[in-house]
Structure 1
């Protein structure tokens, strides 16, 4: 399946482009309008970068909290630093708790930051354009169909037009 996404500045151009595509023989289930009053980014499953960031941070928490505790405990055990007057075991446990807290911070910064910057792919620019009041025309179908739709959409002078090919499943 191939996809073609065009960004149009206003509702009238988006509706005119939709009409031109359907008048040229594309069925309404092959063409969608995303924007105010039409489908939203969530309806069309454009990935929310904040959701990806939370997922990445949560995934890292499972690894970094236990690892941080063990590393903090071991560091305190090896150095013999007395954090409070709690004795050896108490200081080791406090060191482990501080290590686990460092793991939480690392999961939040690294997992969340990476998920926010790279977890969304091209969805973030499209979401930003929708939030700015622009409209997206999405055409899905064969390569020949998207090539034909490209010619039609270019006549409406879109801000951006991009084609995608769905990867073949093995």
Structure 2
């Protein structure tokens, strides 16, 4: 889904843009307002979220989600690989546990290596949005408001309405 983040000086601009988009009937999948650290959250239409809770702006959330999804298939695969390896080799490392116990321990060790592999694989995949997220984190530290707008696939944000709010910067994150 196409996503863009607007960097704004004040919350009122974000509220005005959100109301304009609703009035225009623009379908938005997700809207998230990120307040600066020392910014006054105040009251308004949009509730500010911490930057660490917005998945598109926090690569560690995406990495954790990726790791959990990879472990769902790597754990059983690792178990079967460990079990098979124990059966086809003539190693007697755990022979004191009997043939079934030895195979079971081999499967558990394979499952553990599958878990380690899921962590390694999830950490090795870079985010496509790294540069954009770094820019946005810098703007957040400069005490600016961030407004994340996510639209359904194939739909663009109406840029005429966006330009009326005069954002300091617009960062387009890659399509997800």
**TM-score normalised per structure 2:** 0.59
CA shift for structure 1 position 105: 0.2
When residues 46 and 135 of structure 1 are mapped into structure 2, their CA distance, relative to the original with a 3 A threshold, is farther
List aligned pairs for 1:22-37, cutoff 5 A. 29-30=19-20, 34-36=35-37, 37=39
List aligned pairs for 1:53-68, cutoff 5 A. 53-68=63-78
Rg comparison, structure with higher value: 1
Q: CA RMSD in A?
A: 4.1
- What is the rounded CA distance, in whole Å, between the counterparts of 1:4 and 1:76 in structure 2? 52
**TM-score normalised per structure 1:** 0.61
Contact 1:5 1:138 in 2 (8 A): yes
List aligned pairs for 1:118-137, cutoff 5 A. 118=127, 124-125=133-134, 128-129=137-138, 132-136=141-145
Structure 2: runs of 5 or more not aligned: 22-32, 42-47, 150-156
* Residue correspondences, number: 147
- What is the rounded CA distance, in whole Å, between the counterparts of 1:126 and 1:80 in structure 2? 56
